[in-house]
Amino acid sequence: MIAAENLDLSLKDLSLDAGSAASEESNKILKWNLPLKELYKLACSFYKEKSGKAIHLSYEDNLKLVAFTQQAAHGPLDLSDAPPLGMFDVIGKDRRIAWQQLGTITKLQAMEGFIDLLDRLCPLFKPYVEAIKKDKEEKARRAEQEQIQRTEALAAEKERQEELQRLENEKNREELHRRQLQDALNQQTYHQFKEYAEIQFPGNPEQQAVLIRQLQNEHYHQYMQQLQAQVATNLARLKSISDGEDDDNNPTAVVCENGPAGGAGEPGVFTTCANTVKENSQFEFKEQCDSDNDSGDYAVISPANMWTKPDIKLFKQEVMAGKGDGVIRVNHGDTVTVKVPTHEGGSCLFWEFATDSYDIGFGVYFEWGKPPTTEVSVHISESDEDDDTIEEDEEVICAEDLECGTVQNSQTSGAGGSSALGSRNPISIIIPIYRRECHQEVYAGSHTYPGEGTYLLKFDNSYSLWRPKTLYYKVFYTR
């Protein structure tokens, strides 16, 4: 019993496989460039919809068409299986006769015969099929285009997501690099700024921490400005070299600023940046010594840090109360130079200054060599001319000029005069003189000792024709 059941199941499977195979073969049969079964379905739909409306067929033609449909659906007529007809069913008898006349043609042949007969009897059928075929092709074309558009949209969206991810990764890398760079700079300047903050806010750790963060942020922005200026300078120099220009005689010192020259705009941080970058990412620049000899030596010095403080009234009150170095009246046309020798126990110089009502020019120079005294001194001159003017006139001996050093006043000329002028100490420019809006904010700064020598803090009012300036300043050093 079990074996018989398994045999019946196998036969059913084989018949199903044979039926599916036959269906696939029938779908490959084309007529009018359409599968035969699909065209037959269109013909049957057309016949049902249009019969008696768009087309008017005779009784005999209708019998033939119905016979084809019966043959296509059930195969040849088998009278033994056919149900009996009524005595008065004339139409049924006529249909059976027409079906029986088709003989043993196959179902596919019956489908093709139905299509050919309908096409011969109704000229509108073929245009109807052509219109449906075109509509189908158009739908297929649109579906293909939509699929292509969806694919392109997915690809574009994927590309956009990848680009956003790349930008995000690049931004994260830049942020990580920025943090690493800022942390490195903060480690280098922390102790220096901490000593300064302890002097400004003794016994107040919170205010000290706020000031240290402010100074470190200012230092980082200043460093980035120097880096950008350095890149621009190097690009300009490479361009000039590629154009065939001779760069050998160009000065190696480059002055960079993030504020307008002359102090006409908002107060900014002015620094001197280098043409070379050391491995420790610190800038240094070479400024030719202001000497009269032809040796062409250079002094290596690091840039200064500068920032501003808003509490100008409190600063002036502290200075006038004796908590600072003092108050100086700078007359119109004068230049005041505060000489601050390096201290053997110090490593960094700090300064702060402000004025009443009007701005003033400020710059920092450094005179190399062992200072003759450890006391801070103030010198006033009517102008701050360059040494070149003095060097051109050999009969003028600059005994009192701050940038010439101490020389003996003699009336010698020629080689003797040149020897006297060449004996002065070299001077490097740390901060060029620019006008500062120090009547609105307190300007402060610091500089690490480059060696043994004397700082020259210059307050220039030589550009003013009638206005004197009241200067409040403080200078001190840290270890």
Which CATH number goes with the domain that contains 441?
2.60.120.680
Domain-ending residue, one of 209, 234, 259: 234
Q: Quick one: 188 and 332 in the same domain?
A: no
Between the alpha carbon of residue 153 and those of residues 139, 143, 156, 283, the distances in Å are 20, 15, 5, 50
Q: Quick one: 225 and 159 in the same domain?
A: yes
Convert 120-150 to b/e letters by CB count within 10 Å (16 or more is b). Answer: ebbeebeebbeebbeeeeeeeeeeeeeeeee
Q: Quick one: 94 and 190 in the same domain?
A: no
3-state secondary structure of 471: strand
pLDDT score of 263: 37
Question: Is 4 domain-assigned?
Answer: no
Range of the domain at 105: 28-122
Q: Is the pLDDT of residue 284 over 70?
A: no
- Give tens-digit pLDDT for 205-259: 998 899 998 898 888 888 888 888 888 888 888 888 877 655 444 443 333 333 3
Confidence of residue 25 (pLDDT cuts 50, 70, 90): low
Domain-ending residue, one of 219, 234, 249: 234
Domain-ending residue, one of 213, 234, 255: 234
Question: Is 166 domain-assigned?
Answer: yes
Question: Is 64 domain-assigned?
Answer: yes
Q: Is the pLDDT of residue 283 over 70?
A: no
Between the alpha carbon of residue 72 and those of residues 92, 134, 135, 245, the distances in Å are 18, 27, 27, 96
Average pLDDT score over residue span 382-386: 58
Question: Is 72 domain-assigned?
Answer: yes
Q: Quick one: 167 and 315 in the same domain?
A: no
Instruction: Specify the CATH number for the domain of residue 94.
Output: 1.20.80.10
Q: Quick one: 327 and 185 in the same domain?
A: no
Question: Is 285 domain-assigned?
Answer: no
Q: Quick one: 148 and 204 in the same domain?
A: yes
Q: Quick one: 442 and 310 in the same domain?
A: yes
Q: Are 462 and 333 in contact (CB under 8 A)?
A: yes
pLDDT score of 23: 54
- Tokens representing residue 3 in the block: 């074996």
Q: Quick one: 179 and 149 in the same domain?
A: yes
- Mean pLDDT, rounded, of the chain: 76
Q: Can you state the angle between helices 59-74 and 36-50, rounded to 10 degrees?
A: 140
Question: Is 391 domain-assigned?
Answer: no
Q: Quick one: 114 and 219 in the same domain?
A: no
Q: Quick one: 331 and 454 in the same domain?
A: yes
H or E stretch at 475: strand 469-478
Q: Quick one: 190 and 87 in the same domain?
A: no
Question: Is 396 domain-assigned?
Answer: no
Confidence of residue 330 (pLDDT cuts 50, 70, 90): very high
Question: Is 258 domain-assigned?
Answer: no
Q: Quick one: 165 and 98 in the same domain?
A: no
Among 107-121, 131-145, 264-278, 289-303, the minimum mean pLDDT is found in 264-278
How many domains would you assign to the chain?
3
